[in-house]
Amino acid sequence: MEYIEFESPIRELEEQLKKTKQLQTETGQDLSRTMREIEKSIISTRKDIQKNLSPWQKVQLSRHPSRPYTLAYIQAITNGNFLELHGDRGVKDDKAMVGGWGIIDGESYMLIGQQKGINTKMRQYRNFGMANPEGYRKALRLMKMAEKFNRPVITFIDTPGAFPGLEAEERGQGEAIARNIYEMCALKVPIICIIIGEGASGGALGIGVGDKVLMLENTWYSVISPESCSSILWRNWDHKEQAAKALKLTAEDMLKNKLVDGIIKEPLGGAHVNPEEIFETVKQTIIKTAAKLLETPKNKLIDSRIKKLSKMGVFDE
């Protein structure tokens, strides 16, 4: 388990707990009471931390190195019943975007998402979860396949942004994202989007238009990352905490502003503390939400999707 700065009280307590356990095995003394005390204070410390998390700290949690990524969710909620599909049929297979058919509780779904790497080598392989145009085009191909077979689409969003590379520009990064947004607005099957980590701008929205857009409790979603926002508006990287606050990018703020449809509660301390628990919560949310959406007639589904989007924006006349 890795820890980030504000988790250091937890690290100390967990180390204490480990030492006490060790001591108990070595000496044969009954230290169960002490251990229970430590466990209790771990929980209360976690509660305290959670209560006082700043927007920037939530951004940090959303990038926690131990946080589960898309394929971990897919493997867990499909119980391994997942058939990964590759390629955009034009250029290549983008490793930063994954997708395929999965079965959850006896029903099939098209599961798509950005994928980050779990170690240095894999992070490079996955291009840090930053998809190229072919990634978005692969996602669109799979969504169209889901439409053909009348099955719901579930997207897992976790990206620091669409890749800003030279080839990405040559192959039309803007067009690829625009096309996905456009097609998703009128896709004839239910779409559920879940932000499981970072929701950075167009890169996120490129697989982020849906009937229900849900954010995990400790994630962020905005038009730009706090760091880039700081560098553009303050002309340096030092105002990221201030930028995180100003952008109103937390799940709570996004729901309050009616830009997402709901929040999925994470285990105490964050998804990384108890992955099994978050997998189960997400699985149950998908089953429940999809069932409801599948009952809605197709034209009504698209109608209300477009109506929902039309209401986003605040202005005076």
Partner 1 sequence: MGWFKRNKEGITTETKDKKETPEGLWHKCPKCKVIVRQEDHEATFWVCGHCEYHERIDAKEYFSFLFDDGKYQELDSKMRSKDPLEFEDTKKYKERYDSTVKKTGLNDAITTGYGLLHGQAVTIAAMNFSFIGGSMGSVVGEKISRAIQNAVKHKTPFVMISKSGGARMQEAAFSLMQLAKTSAQLTLLSEAGLPYVSILTDPTTGGVTASYAMLGDINIAEPGALIGFAGPRVVKETIGKELPDGFQTSEFVLEHGFLDFIFKRHELKDKLKFFFDCTLQKEETAVAK
Q: Which two tokens mark 151?
A: 């099955």
Residue 65 near partner 1 by CB under 8 A: no
Pick from 106, 119, 300, 315 the residue near partner 1 by CB under 8 A.
Answer: 315
The residues, any chain, with a CB within 8 Å of residue 260's CB and separated by 6 or more, are: 195, 213, 214, 215, 221, 251, 254
* Range 279-283 contact pairs with CB under 8 angstroms and sequence separation of 24 or more: 279/68, 279/72, 279/73, 279/76, 279/77, 282/73, 282/77, 282/194, 282/196, 282/216, 283/76, 283/77, 283/104, 283/105
Residue 312 near partner 1 by CB under 8 A: yes
Q: 7 or 253: whose CB is closer to partner 1?
A: 253
Closest distance between partner 1 and the C-beta of residue 281, in Å? 24
Q: Binding to partner 1 (CB under 8 A): which residues in 241-260?
A: 242-243, 246-249, 254, 257, 259
Distance CA 302, CA 304 (A): 6
Q: 201 or 285: whose CB is closer to partner 1?
A: 201
Amino acid making up residue 40? K
Distance CA 41, CA 48 (A): 10
Around Cβ 276, how many Cβ atoms within 10 Å? 10
Pick from 186, 262, 276, 304 the residue near partner 1 by CB under 8 A.
Answer: 186
Q: Binding to partner 1 (CB under 8 A): which residues in 86-115?
A: none
Closest distance between partner 1 and the C-beta of residue 59, in Å? 13
Closest distance between partner 1 and the C-beta of residue 233, in Å? 4
Pick from 71, 112, 162, 216 the residue near partner 1 by CB under 8 A.
Answer: 162
Of 115, 119, 109, 110, the residue nearest 97 (C-alpha)? 115
Closest distance between partner 1 and the C-beta of residue 181, in Å? 5
Distance CA 22, CA 155 (A): 44
Q: 111 or 162: whose CB is closer to partner 1?
A: 162
Residue 177 near partner 1 by CB under 8 A: yes
Residue 299 near partner 1 by CB under 8 A: no
The number of residues making up the chain comes to: 317
**Which range in 7-15, 101-109, 156-164, 293-301 contacts partner 1 by CB under 8 A?**
156-164
Pairing status of strand 107-114 against strand 97-104: antiparallel
Residue 314 near partner 1 by CB under 8 A: yes
Around Cβ 207, how many Cβ atoms within 10 Å? 30
Residues at the site binding partner 1, with contacts judged by CB under 8 A: 162-166, 168-175, 177-179, 181-182, 185-186, 201-202, 205-206, 208-209, 221-224, 229, 232-234, 239, 242-243, 246-249, 254, 257, 259, 305-306, 309-310, 312-317
